[in-house]
Amino acid sequence: MNSRERLLAACTRKPVDRPPVWLMRQAGRYLPEYRLLRARHDFSEIAKTPELACEASLQPWQRFGMDAVIVFSDILFVPEAMGMKLKFKKDGGPELSPLLKSATDVDKLLDADAKTSLSFAYAAIRLLKNSLHAEVPVIGFTGAPWTLADYMIDGGAKAWIDKESEALKKLLEKLSKIVANYVRHQQDAGADVIQIFDTWAGELTRDQFAAFALPFLKEIVRDGKQNAPFIIYSRKCSHILNELADTGADVVSIDPETSMESAIKKIGGRVAIQGNLDPKLFTTTPGFVRQETSRLLSKIKGRPGHIINAGHGLLPTTLPECVEAVIETVKHWRFPPSRE
């Protein structure tokens, strides 16, 4: 199987020769070639210049040969398109301003046209499709409404659950419409898979998730999905696994603290599962990495609906030799023969 066939099959729980492998934040500061690129250009310039975004996206694939290339971008370009100011600090961290303080601030946000305001992302995807062999898939992505709102609201979105619940839902609805259009245009540009990052939804209780995250995730999948499998990711997600599986996404990506055995038992019959190597593992030694990767492979027990990935984004202190150890361990692994 080639990488595209392998990833798409795994997303839909069809048989594969081995699990596909890629890593969240696989393009970044741990790579010497990326640091050279950043020495010449700031983060926003790289992400918004399709040729540079394409270059950054390809760097880890060229070095390690993952089973997918994820477009180089940032989830906070969505609130920027709605009129907020976005800057990236020297340490790489994003900062939005002015943060939303009231319902009036929500009303001032633009109903952005995702097709024009985020066109640089689609151009980067098209360049990647032209640069890669047809057998290598491209992953597009977006932030989910709850997680985007958490960055946009002064004090975080949870501060509005009780005091500004109607304004919060209005904001989430605005975001869901833009995000649905955004992922639809990414698919039009050639994205083979879409990942939705609802990183901070795991901070919610199950009831809060059902009220303030789940309806909008369902809306995005319903209105935004065309021909690409969808992956949904959240940290600290063990208590909302069933709800994540109910979004309509094809794959649930789990964090390091969520038990793989528990996830397979709870939702493995309904969706594929992605994860969940601890990013801190990539700062250790290649030998230890190979051991832990083999341990994860043994846990999935020949189950085809699995994608090997980190449990969240790679750290800047990641060692390239540890990334190589993960990729090579997975590539040399094969599912045990069927007993049938």
- Catalytic-residue membership of 162: no
**Options 3.40.50.2300, 3.40.50.20, 3.30.70.580, 3.20.20.210; CATH of 3-331:** 3.20.20.210
- Of 38, 63, 126, 303, which residue is the catalytic one? 38
pLDDT one-digit tens code per residue, 115-131: 999 999 999 999 999 99
Please state, in angstroms and rounded to a whole number, the distance separating the CA atoms of residues 146 and 149. Answer: 5
- Catalytic-residue membership of 235: no
pLDDT averaged over every residue in the chain: 96
Q: Is the pLDDT of residue 339 over 60?
A: no
Asked if 260 contacts 276 with a C-beta cutoff of 8 angstroms, the reply is yes
pLDDT one-digit tens code per residue, 209-259: 999 999 999 999 999 999 999 999 999 999 999 999 999 999 999 999 999
- Catalytic-residue membership of 29: yes
pLDDT value at residue 92: 61
Q: Which amino acid is at 192?
A: D
Q: Is the pLDDT of residue 195 over 70?
A: yes
pTM of the model: 0.96
Q: Which residue has the higher pLDDT, 59 or 91?
A: 59
Domain ranges of the chain: 3-331
pLDDT value at residue 336: 65
- Catalytic-residue membership of 25: yes
- Of 4, 25, 184, 235, which residue is the catalytic one? 25
Q: Is the pLDDT of residue 198 over 70?
A: yes
> CB atoms < 10 A from the CB of 287, how many?
10
> CB atoms < 10 A from the CB of 32, how many?
11
* Average pLDDT of the residues in 268-280: 97
Q: Is the pLDDT of residue 148 over 90?
A: yes
Note the residue count of the chain.
340
> CB atoms < 10 A from the CB of 43, how many?
18
Q: Is the pLDDT of residue 338 over 70?
A: no
- Of 30, 34, 122, 151, which residue is the catalytic one? 151
Asked if 282 contacts 314 with a C-beta cutoff of 8 angstroms, the reply is yes
- Which residues fall within 8 angstroms of residue 319, CB to CB, at 6 or more apart? 30, 282, 283, 284
pLDDT one-digit tens code per residue, 31-54: 999 999 999 999 999 999 999 999
pLDDT band at 302 (very low <50, low <70, confident <90, very high): confident
pLDDT band at 91 (very low <50, low <70, confident <90, very high): low
pLDDT value at residue 168: 98
pLDDT value at residue 93: 80
Please state, in angstroms and rounded to a whole number, the distance separating the CA atoms of residues 171 and 146. Answer: 9
* Average pLDDT of the residues in 79-95: 88
pLDDT value at residue 337: 58
pLDDT one-digit tens code per residue, 1-42: 999 999 999 999 999 999 999 999 999 999 999 999 999 999
- Catalytic-residue membership of 35: no
Helix (H, G, I), strand (E, B) or coil at 327: helix
pLDDT value at residue 308: 98
